[in-house]
Structure 1
Amino acid sequence: MSALSGPMLKLGGFLLAHASWIIDDLGPADNYVPQALCLKEGELELNSFEADTQEEAVARGKAFMEVKAAEYDACAFARDGLLRHDGRAIDALIIDLADETGAHVLTMIQPYRRDEQMHLLGDEVFLFPPDRAKDEDGSASLRPLVRAGAQDHSGARETWNRLDGSRQPAPDLF
C-alpha cells in the first residue's frame, strides 16, 4: 500500500463517519473518546483510548500510532479538537492517517458545530506532513475517496448522509 492509497483514504472516511455518528449522539457534557481504526489483511480493528482527561486519552492514541501503526496495512486515529479562529474556538474532528510503515502521511480536519445535533462546517481540510501544508487542489481529489469510505459504514450511513448533505459554511481556518 503506497502513501495516500485509496484503501487508506477510505479507512479515514469510515472513521470520520463513525466519529461523527458518535459525536452526533453525545450529550452536551460528553466527550468523544479518541479511537484508532486499523486495517490488516482486509480486517478492521477499532481501538479506543479512554482516560481521566482528553489530553491523556489523545496522548495514549498518539503513542499507539507511533508504536503499533506499522503492524497494520493502514491506520487512522481520530480525536476531537479545537481550532482557534478570530479569538474563538471551533470544534473539529482531527484524523491522522498512517501507512504500513507507521509513517504519518496525512491529517484530515473536519470542522463542526454542535447544538442539539452535529453540523459539519465546510469540506474536509487535508494537511500534509512534515510541514503540514494545505493543498486545496490535492484535497479536492481526495474527498471522493474519503466520502466513499464514509458510505461504507452501514451503521453511520444515515447520520453521515444527513451531515454531509447539510454542510454549513466554514470560516477560512488555514
Structure 2
Amino acid sequence: MQKTARMAGFLAAHGIWSVSDGEALIPLFGYQDTNGDRAMDRLVFDDIADAAKAGQEALRTGREDWVGAVLVADGYLRSDARRIDALIIDVVEYLPTRQSMRMAIPYRPQPQGFAVYRPKFLEVPGRYESDQSGLAESFFAGVDSHEQAAAVWDAHLIDQSV
C-alpha cells in the first residue's frame, strides 16, 4: 500500500493545486500497472458527479494489470451541523491482495481565503489501523514529489484539524 499511498499524495497535491484558484475539481484518476508505468486522467463528463461515479466504477472493477489506482474528487465532510469542503481520495491496491483506503483533505475555498487543513484517514486497511504513520509518510512523500502543487499546499496549510 506504500507505493499506492505515494501516488495518492501526488494526485491529492495536484487536486489541491487545482482548487486553490476557486475552480471546481474535475475528478482525477491515476493508476500504476505491473510494469511500473503510471498514468493520470481527468475524468471529463458533462456532470462532475457522473465523472466521480465513473471513477468509482473504474476503482471497483480495476484491470488485471493494475497494481493500484487512485480517485480524487471534490466533496464534503460533515462535522456537527456543517459541511466542510474536502477532496476525497479513494485508493485501491489490487496486487498482491486487494485492499482499500479512503482519505479526505479538508480545505477552505475561495473567496474566504484558500486554506488546506490536515488530511484525515477515513478508512484504512486493517493492518494499518493501529499505526497509520507509514501510510502518512508515503502519502506526504507523494505530495512533496509534485513540486508546484506542494508549494501551493505548503503556502496555504493551516496546521489544524476541522
TM-score of the superposition, structure 2-length normalised? Answer: 0.83
Q: Which 10-residue stretch deviates more, 14-23 or 101-110?
A: 101-110
CA distance in 1, matches of 2:122, 2:3: 16
CA distance in 2, matches of 1:78, 1:43: 19
Structure showing greater relative contact order (alpha-carbon pairs closer than 8 Å, 6 or more residues apart): 2
Quickly say closer, same or farther: Cα 1:82–1:126, change in 2 above 3 A: closer
The answer to whether the aligner puts 1:52 opposite 2:43 as a matched pair is no
Partner of 1:138, secondary structure, is: coil
**Equivalent in the alignment of 1:31:** 24
* C-alpha contact (below 8 Å) 2:118/2:158 kept by paired residues: yes
Which amino acid counterpart does residue 8 of structure 1 have in structure 2? T
**Equivalent in the alignment of 1:113:** 108
Q: Deviations over 1:107-147 (max 9, x none)?
A: 111111113453122333241369xxx94x52334211110
Residue from 120, 131, 139 that aligns with 1:124: 120
Which amino acid counterpart does residue 66 of structure 2 have in structure 1? Y
CA distance in 2, matches of 1:69, 1:18: 24
Q: Which 10-residue stretch deviates more, 76-85 or 62-71?
A: 62-71
Q: Which 10-residue stretch deviates more, 32-41 or 100-109?
A: 100-109
TM-score of the superposition, structure 1-length normalised? Answer: 0.78
The unaligned stretches of length 5 or more in structure 2 are none
CA distance in 2, matches of 1:104, 1:96: 11
CA distance in 1, matches of 2:8, 2:39: 13
Quickly say closer, same or farther: Cα 1:69–1:152, change in 2 above 3 A: farther
Quickly say closer, same or farther: Cα 1:104–1:93, change in 2 above 3 A: farther
Q: Could you list the runs of 4 or more consecutive aligned residues of structure 1 that deviate by over 4 angstroms after TM superposition?
A: none
Which amino acid counterpart does residue 15 of structure 2 have in structure 1? A
Aligned length: 158
Q: Give how far 1:51 is off.
A: 2.0
Q: Which 10-residue stretch deviates more, 41-50 or 143-152?
A: 41-50
* C-alpha contact (below 8 Å) 1:126/1:139 kept by paired residues: no
Which amino acid counterpart does residue 89 of structure 2 have in structure 1? I
Q: Give how far 1:156 is off.
A: 1.7
The percent identity for this pair of structures is: 23
The unaligned stretches of length 5 or more in structure 1 are none
Which amino acid counterpart does residue 44 of structure 1 have in structure 2? R
* C-alpha contact (below 8 Å) 1:80/1:91 kept by paired residues: yes
| Correspondence list, 1:23-172, <5 A | 23-26=19-22, 30-40=23-33, 41-101=35-95, 103-116=98-111, 117-128=113-124, 135=129, 137-163=130-156, 166-171=157-162
Q: Give how far 1:150 is off.
A: 0.8
